[in-house]
Amino acid sequence: MVSPYYILTIGLGLAFLLGLSGQRLRLVSTGLIATAMAVFTGISLSWIAAFFSGNGATTQFFSAGFQPPFSIALQVGFHEAVITFLINLLGLMSVIYMAKGISDRSAKLGPVLLIIFMGLNMLVLTRDIFNVFVFLEITSIALAGLILFEQKEHSASAGFKYLLASSLISSLYLLGVVLVYFSTGSLYADDLGIIAQSAAPAASVAAFLMIIAVVLELKPFPANGWALDVYQGTHPATAAIISGGVATALLFVLNKILPAADPWVMQMISVIGLVTFLGSNWLGISQKDVSRMLGYSSVGQIGLVMSVIGAQNYLGDQYILIAFGLLLTHLLAKAGLFWITGLVKDSKPESLAVIRNRPLLLVVFGILLFALAGFPPFPGFFAKWELIMSLGSLEAWGWMAMILLGSLFEMVYLIRWFGTVVKADLPEGEKKPAVSISSWIPLVLFATALLVAGWYSAGLTSVAFSINYIPLLAIVVLFALDFLPAWVKNTLLMGAIAYYGYLVLPALDSFALVFGAIFIAGALITLIYGYYFKGRRPGFYPLVAMMFAGLMLLIQAKDLLSFFFAWELMTAGSYFLILRGKHSQPHAFSYMLFSFGGALLLLGGFSIAHFVTGSWDFSALDMTGPLSPLVFIMLTIGFLTKTAAIGLHIWLPGAHSEAESDVSPMVSGILLKAGVYGLIVLFLHMGHQFVLGIDLMWILSWVAVITAVGGYLLASMQEDMKRLLAYSSVGQLGVILFGLTLMSNLGWLLAISGSITHFLNKTMLFQAVGGVYSRTHDRMMYRMGGLIFRMPLTFIVVLIGIISMSGVPPLAGFAGKWLAFNAVLEKGYYLQGAGMVLAGAVAFLYLFRLIHAPFLGQLKDNLRKVKEANFWMLVPQFIIIIIIMILSAYPGTLLRPVGQALTEYFPDGALQWKDSALQFGARTAISSYGYWNGTYVMIVTIAVFATLLGIQLLIQRRNKKVGQFNIVYSAERPSTPETTHAAYNFYAHYQKAVGFLITPWATRFWNAVADFVQSVALQVRRIYTGNGQAYLIHIVLFTLICFFLYNGGF
């Protein structure tokens, strides 16, 4: 193998040459430095290649031909090779990114960059603990110089604080080294095990001082104010080196000297890391400066890796995957994000909005940010999965809770930043950010590396190669074809979805088949609507493909990892789609926080279930014992965040109403069914769970009733058509949840048929409302009226939709009411049944308002030129009407096969079907409490309607239609349409009576939680005063407290 001393020689030699030559080598300095970094990277890569080819072995190289302690020992093993490769790759990309600055100031920047990366390599490779101190000092001095060379407002103070802190920390490390030599007579890292076995006080103090010094270099909370000031005060390119390169080398050093640590020190390192991860991310919530915010994130992420290193003896075989996955994701993503912030003038979040003018840069930004947040398909996702699964197996519930909560806090400020970049107003006068080829290379390379590393990481998990990546190809292909017209991409995506459904659906069975049909049919129907849009619709179709890929992978999942992968992918895709709405930023933010919080509960629940059963597939949920109710509650809440149960619903109205016209039916009619499917899987495996003798299904039945009544009541009080339909979805999902909680054949038949009819009705109605908005450019119903004359086809769609949703015969919704009546009587849930009757009565209020306010009454003057909705908007609506009519006339088409499939799980109480006298498919459904024939009901209803219509036409055949203003008045002007059609505050009288029921208690509660978290962060952040002396006191106090606890505390 190539000797590592070439790195030392080249680094020092070229650094001296550039320093002595001044600006005389300015024209070639960048090329020389890049070549040196490329050589460093090539040497590390050659080591990796040797190990993969089987020709490599861990080798030590000694200087001057002597053995330690009379020489510098450098060790090259596989781990050293990989870590130095990452550091050197970062160095090479940093030089490329900083090419212009290096060329302008080659005598200053060139030497310090070479010395920094030479020193980092030596920190990783050296086996001499004193040389760790030497190279630590060399790197610190060079890094301080790099910070001070920057011409930012706070760079001088940042560099000075860095020097102060690193000097104090190095002194602690050196004192530890002296005590090590005093105790063992050796400075060789391989002899550090003697320290751990020694009972001498000096030995334990030596180990503590060395380890605490390296921990302090990793910037633990709260002794990290100096580091945060450095991140804020230095150039983003320098911050990328500190966050990605320096931290990586120091983590390896920490791992190298851990043989000197006893188990108590290892545990202390883990606790410090966890507290740092949680505390830093908590404080990051209140941060507005992007550089400092990324500093908080860097400190937190490094703290998480530190905690993993401390717990390596417990994590077993997956330790390397966890630590390296987290470290690799942090290095690549954080460096890339710092580089992107360096492309704009300042560190305000809204300043980065200009990157929207460069779509590829925005995509790279999204990849880096969501990789850092731990989303699939990136390596951080798999590393965090393995970490949480391992902690569950260790029964480390507290540690697991801290990591999940810290991840949620980090998501708060990352997703807020992303939303600001995507939706904030562009700074005045700003155009495309200047991005040179030297900036594109490292950004695109690191984003691509994250994708490749994620694919490779999937094969190293405990559930190897369980991920199906084929649907994700559609995302890549559509992004590559984003330059094509919208109708072409729309057609391609519909064809891909139809073909994938053709391949996948026949292999599914039971509930997966039902929901797979909803997802595939829903995708095709909602995409027909897309032919209405002109132009390219950049970015839209890859995001639609992402959401539907997640949904299809969800129903194909056979194990917990595949399910969670699909759930997170679906969440990300739907978030991006919602965020496209004009005023959707706060609502998309709320949606993502609730969805991500729910996903973390799923992750924690899966971990505990795996610990109890040892299984990776869904049989892990077939668990019993004292932890079963806890898992049930965690998973149920996780799924209910997606179905928007009462209290968890506050994201839904805004997200659905502010999304684009064709996105609203996707997220309401289709996406919500993912939560229903999750609940079905959970309830099938876990069944009834009891806490203090109380059946949790009984509690959930009341949650369902309150959700239904509350959702319908809130819908009735809305002026906005889309918000009305959004709250209506809350109520209808309550009905579906109620059916599931009955845990009977009829109850589940109600839930599954209700899921299908909800998909049909909500998709149709959201599309109809979208058509109205496309013509009127208004969503407020009280400003409409008389649209029946201008948009009669849309009126017919809405009329059929509200009849179907109301449960009035003869349409399909009546089946749900009839099933609910029978299921409630069978179960004996009479009070809950009464609540559902009340919900049905309340539903009539918003349904009547939806048809009356926009369509009936006098036509407003400003609506006289309104046209019918576009053809492509109407086509999917009438396709749904045909489906509803078929299901209404022949309800057995749906109910009979679903009911029969349910007998496998609920054999008692199923409907009996009897052929009727009619020969065209009419069947009578028979339950223990009555019977019903949908075909007969349809025939009778049509006959009665036709008869009454005929009588009306006969009686009124000579009636003359009176014009809108053709009315006799007594010397008065005719009233305007605006005063003759009362629709504003339509249910004011009801609001006076029951207004207290719709008080936004849930919103107030979550706002109070957010305010508390924000306030605590702001108060704790006050310890970071910016005073360098105060930061030194923090370091000393942190060291003393840790030493006090190390010696047993009180």
* pLDDT score at 69: 64
Contact present, 534 and 540 (Cβ < 8 Å): no
Q: How many helices (H) and strands (E) in the chain?
A: 43, 7
**Which of the four pLDDT bands, split at 50, 70 and 90, describes residue 997?**
confident
Exposed, middle or buried: residue 129 (CB in 10 Å: 0-12, 13-18, 19+)? buried
Of 470 and 685, the structure prediction assigns the larger pLDDT to 685
Give the β-pairing of 930-932 and 59-62: unpaired
429 has a pLDDT exceeding 70 = no
Q: Which pair of tokens denotes residue 487?
A: 């109708």
Q: What is the structure's pLDDT at 809?
A: 87
Closest CA to 254 of 224, 215, 221: 215
HSE-up (13 A, CA, CB side) for residue 74: 26
Residue 945's Cα: distance from chain center in Å?
A: 51
Q: Which stretch of 7-21, 405-419, 668-682 has the lowest confidence by average pLDDT?
A: 7-21
**Which region among 93-102, 898-907, 985-994 has the lowest average model confidence (pLDDT)?**
985-994
Higher pLDDT, 402 or 997: 402
Residue pair 47/76 in contact by the 8 Å Cβ criterion: yes
Instruction: Give the C-alpha distances (Å, rounded to integers) separating 325 from 333, 455, 736, 917.
Output: 12, 12, 40, 67
Position 1046 scores a pLDDT of 82
Among the ranges given (305-319, 806-820, 906-920), the one the predictor scored with the smallest mean pLDDT: 906-920
Q: Six-digit token pair at 494?
A: 């519909």
State whether the Cα torsion 351-357-358-364 is positive or negative.
positive
Q: For residue 626, is the peptide bond before it cis, meaning its omega torsion is within 30 degrees of 0?
A: no
Q: State the pLDDT at residue 280.
A: 95
Q: What is the arithmetic mean of pLDDT over 402-422?
A: 96
Per-residue tokens: 1048: 């047993």
- Residues counted in the chain: 1050
* Residue of 374, 142, 89, 132 lying closest to 255 (CA atoms): 132
Which residues neighbour 692 within 8 Å (Cβ) at sequence distance 6 or greater? none
Q: Residue 196: its pLDDT value, please?
A: 75
Tell me if residue 60 falls in helix, strand or coil. Answer: strand
Confidence label for 548 from pLDDT (cuts 50, 70 and 90):
very high
> How many other C-beta atoms are found inside a 10 Å radius of the C-beta of residue 1025?
12
Check pLDDT > 60 for residue 578: yes
Residues 499-504: what's their mean pLDDT?
Answer: 95
The token duo for 478 is 């559509």
Whether 1050 has a pLDDT exceeding 60, the answer reads no
Cα–Cα distance measured from residue 243 to residue 379, given in angstroms and rounded to the nearest whole number: 18
Q: How many CB atoms lie within 10 A of CB 712?
A: 26
DSSP three-state, residue 780: strand
| Share above pLDDT 70 across residues of the chain, in percent, rounded to a whole number | 96
User: What is the model's pLDDT at position 299?
Assistant: 96
For residue 983 the two structure tokens come to: 């629709």
Q: What was the pLDDT predicted at 978?
A: 67
* Of 913, 602, 909, 508, residue with least CA distance to 747: 909
Residue 331: predicted pLDDT: 97
The reported pLDDT for the residue numbered 964 is 63
990 CB-near residues (< 8 Å, 6+ apart): 716, 717, 845
- In order of 460, 772, 874, 961, the CA distances from 792 in angstroms are 59, 11, 11, 18
Gap between the Cα atoms of 470 and 79, Å rounded: 32
pLDDT confidence bin for 536, thresholds 50/70/90: very high
Q: What is the CA radius of gyration of the chain?
A: 33
Strand partners, 61: 74
How large is the average pLDDT for residues 856-882?
92
Nearest residue to 719 (alpha-carbon basis) of 647, 770, 784: 784
Q: What is the mean pLDDT of residues 273-285?
A: 96
Q: In this structure, are residues 673 and 759 in contact, taking their beta carbons and an 8 Å threshold?
A: yes
Check: CB of residue 150 under 8 Å from CB of residue 234.
yes
Tokens of 130: 């004193």
Residue with tokens 């990366």: 117
Q: How far apart are CA 472 and CA 572, in angstroms?
A: 13
pLDDT at 213: 95
Report the alpha-carbon distance of residue 201 to residue 203 in Å, rounded: 5
Does 430 score more than 70 pLDDT?
no
DSSP string, 366-427: HHHHHHHTT-TTSHHHHHHHHHHHHHHHTT-HHHHHHHHHHHHHHHHHHHHHHHHHHHSPPP
- The backbone torsions φ and ψ at residue 126, rounded to the nearest 5 degrees and listed phi first, read -65, 145
Please write the tens of the pLDDT for every residue from 246-258. Answer: 999 999 999 999 9
Q: Looking at this protein, which amino acid is placed at residue 747?
A: G
Q: What is the mean pLDDT of the chain?
A: 91
- Alpha-carbon distance of 654 to 569, in angstroms, equals 22
User: Among the listed ranges 148-157, 225-234, 585-594, 625-634, which one has the minimum average pLDDT value?
Assistant: 148-157
Q: Which of 416-430, 814-828, 913-927, 939-953 has the least mean pLDDT? A: 913-927
Helix (H) or strand (E) holding 733: helix 721-741
pLDDT surpassing 80 at residue 431: no
**Helix (H, G, I), strand (E, B), or coil: what is residue 140?**
helix
pLDDT at position 464 is 64
Residue 74 backbone phi and psi in degrees, to 5: -115, 130
Highest mean pLDDT among 98-107, 146-155, 1031-1040 belongs to 1031-1040
> Tokens 């109809």 sit at which residue?
768
- Selection from 257, 195, 167, 252 nearest residue 218 by Cα: 252
Phi and psi (nearest 5°) for 373?
Answer: -75, -10
Q: What is the pLDDT of residues 950-981, one digit of tens each?
A: 998 888 877 777 666 666 556 666 667 666 67
Domain boundaries, the chain: 1-127, 472-940
Q: Helix or strand or coil: residue 694?
A: strand
Structure tokens at 998: 């719709």
Question: What's the whole-number mean pLDDT along residues 577-604?
Answer: 96
DSSP secondary structure code for residue 349 in this structure:
G
Identify the residue whose tokens are 């039916």: 665
Give the pairing type, strands 923-927 and 59-62. unpaired
Backbone angles phi, psi at 617, to 5 degrees: -95, -170
Over the range 848-872, which residues count as b (16 or more CB within 10 Å of their CB) and which as e?
bbbbbbbbbbbbbeebeebebbbeb
Render pLDDT for 653-704 as a digit per residue (tens, 0 to 9): 999 999 999 999 999 999 999 999 999 999 999 999 999 999 999 999 999 9
The string of DSSP letters for 599-636 reads: HHHHHHHHHHHHHHH--SBGGGGS--STTHHHHHHHHH
Q: Which residues pair with 932 in a beta bridge?
A: 925
Q: Which helix (H) or strand (E) holds 914?
A: strand 912-915
Q: Which pLDDT belongs to residue 310?
A: 93
pLDDT at 971: 60
Task: Give the list of residues 6+ apart from residue 325 with CB closer than 8 angstroms, or none.
Answer: 379, 380, 382, 383, 384, 386, 457
pLDDT at 974: 66
| Residue 600 pLDDT exceeds 80 | yes
Lookup result for tokens 């790197």: 139
Given a cut of 70, whether residue 287 has pLDDT beyond it is yes
Q: Please state, as a whole number, how many other Cβ atoms lie within 10 Å of the Cβ of residue 1033.
A: 12
Encode pLDDT of 174-201 as tens digits. Answer: 999 999 888 888 888 888 888 877 767 8
What is the rounded CA–CA span in Å between residue 824 and residue 742?
8
Interval 448-469: pLDDT, tens: 999 999 999 988 888 866 678 8
State residue 476's pLDDT score: 93
- Over range 769-780, report the average pLDDT: 94
